[in-house]
Structure 1
């Protein structure tokens, strides 16, 4: 059964791994957008705008395609206006994890699915949170050395050794924490007559 082409507006390997679970044919095109905040006061608003813009940029170039954009912003309990970004360096990763130690960190993960030709657009934000253990500097340094989470908001990979840093993971859908809420994505794809499973 043929359907509109599907494009994942992302270069993220983790998001590609999540998409691959569905067994659909799709292509990846990275939307080159400026991801810096534009005065947003809450992580939800930043994540929502970025996911929407990523999908929109690609959707305008491929109007018949079903385009999937996603973005994630992390923040600590009580501070949704202070966004935790990707650490990019070992030193920053250690600092982030020291700040996360013994705290609850929230993840606002936005999803935007758009198809320009039909006027379809559905954008939403899902939440997930993790409670970090009280971590020693030695534990943090060992973890960063082994998992190299330098391109992960919050400085951990929950799908690998990052799981050892948590006391608890709380949410409806673990893929929300990984960067793309797959249960919601499947629901939206069904609306667009994509056959799943």
Structure 2
């Protein structure tokens, strides 16, 4: 079997990959994640996932490289990207802005193998309806879950689930940053046995 490489340093993506019970390497790509005139979250997520996989594939041309990226956006405004807050103050502010609103997630997946001329890149969608949140709830949540490196300022796999009124999408792992159903489909096409 070819070497599998996850082009990421994300703990959550590693945990998702571990579900497959396949050997793989983690190699973190060094790319500029700033938007470059993209007008839609899908376009930004697709470019970043492709670039992550492509950069690692250049160094490991015989491996199957998996890149993924996620862009969050609010209520029918796909060019108003919600980034990672990186500070407690920004996480609180972002959650105040999310309160009572629907937040959409465009999660891109890119699977590449340079030597075999393989490249599959796609975007999956998920949406979360936040309940109306009080300031105290937001502060307590941020303090307990520390979602400073999460687009949208929450961790759905943790206490963040308590912030929602509803969730909608085909595959909850899309919301977590790596669309596993699609990844499994692509890997099976590449003759990797799952399970």
RMSD: 0.3
Ranges of 4+ aligned residues in structure 1 off by more than 6 Å: none
Identify the residue that residue 50 of structure 1 maps to in structure 2: 48
How many angstroms does 1:162 deviate by? 0.1
After TM superposition, the score normalised by the length of structure 1 is 0.99
Matches within 5 A, 1:68-147: 68-147=66-145
Q: List gaps (5 residues or longer) in structure 1.
A: none
How many angstroms does 1:78 deviate by? 1.6
Q: Helix, strand or coil for the counterpart of 1:117?
A: coil
How many residues were matched structurally? 195
After TM superposition, the score normalised by the length of structure 2 is 1.00
Distance 1:166 1:21 in 2: 25
Distance 1:21 1:173 in 2: 14
Render the CA deviation track for 1:53-96: whole Å, top value 9, x for unaligned: 00000001100000000000000012100100000000000000
Matches within 5 A, 1:155-194: 155-194=153-192
Distance 1:110 1:11 in 2: 16
How many angstroms does 1:37 deviate by? 0.4
How many angstroms does 1:110 deviate by? 0.1
